[in-house]
């Protein structure tokens, strides 16, 4: 069974996770990169390196998407939230307003001093629950 999530539910699920995927087009191809993040003032805050792929995205043209999902295979449940928006470098005063900005530690490690804000322009989500299987031949 698939259920469409409300905006409120989508935002709550975004706040419940710390790893998502940033999707963008580069050199005519779709790229999707996992990132550590936290929600801040209704948007997604990401830390990255100053010379990596993500650092060039605020100046790039083209669509950007951010996706978070979860699945629990044994229980047969899962959810997905997909957002579209824009990416900008956060000003020092914005970063200063993030409570404990270092609490989300990037899995890739290393120094990630560049803070980016993914401003959500639209979002949607779905929750899915596997229906119980019926007997074979039904």
Give 90-129 pLDDT, tens digit per residue: 999 998 888 876 666 777 777 788 999 999 999 999 999 9
Q: Is the residue at 64 inside a domain?
A: yes
Find all residues with CB under 8 Å of 37, minimum gap 6, and list them: 18, 19, 20, 44, 45, 46, 66, 104, 118
- Domain count along the chain: 1
Which pLDDT band, with edges at 50, 70 and 90, does 131 fall under? confident
pTM for this structure? 0.87
Q: Is the residue at 11 inside a domain?
A: yes
The Cα–Cα gap between 80 and 74 comes to: 17
| Residue 54: CB atoms within 10 Å | 19
Structural domain boundaries, residue 100: 2-129
The Cα–Cα gap between 97 and 131 comes to: 44
Q: Is the residue at 138 inside a domain?
A: no
Contact between 77 and 129 (Cβ < 8 Å): yes
Q: Is the residue at 137 inside a domain?
A: no
Q: Is the residue at 136 inside a domain?
A: no
What 3-state class would DSSP assign to 95?
A: helix
Residues across the chain? 138
Residue-wise pLDDT for 9-65, tens only, equals 999 999 999 999 999 999 999 999 999 999 999 999 999 999 989 999 998 888 999
Q: Is the residue at 73 inside a domain?
A: yes
CATH number of the domain to which 94 belongs: 2.30.110.10
Q: Is the residue at 135 inside a domain?
A: no
Q: Is the residue at 69 inside a domain?
A: yes
């Amino acid at each position: 069974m698939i259920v469409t999530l409300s905006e409120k539910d989508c935002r709550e699920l975004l706040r419940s996770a710390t790893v998502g995927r940033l999707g963008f087009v580069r050199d005519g191809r779709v790229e999707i990169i996992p990132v550590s993040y936290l929600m801040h003032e209704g948007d997604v805050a990401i830390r990255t390196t100053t010379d990596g792929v993500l650092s060039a995205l605020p100046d790039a043209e083209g669509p950007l998407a951010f996706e978070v999902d979860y699945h629990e295979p044994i229980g047969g449940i899962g959810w997905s939230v997909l957002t579209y928006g824009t990416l900008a470098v956060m000003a020092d005063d914005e970063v200063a307003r993030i409570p404990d900005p270092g609490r989300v530690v990037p899995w890739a490690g290393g120094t990630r001093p560049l803070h980016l804000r993914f401003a959500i322009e639209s979002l949607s989500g779905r929750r899915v629950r596997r229906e119980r299987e019926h007997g074979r031949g039904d």
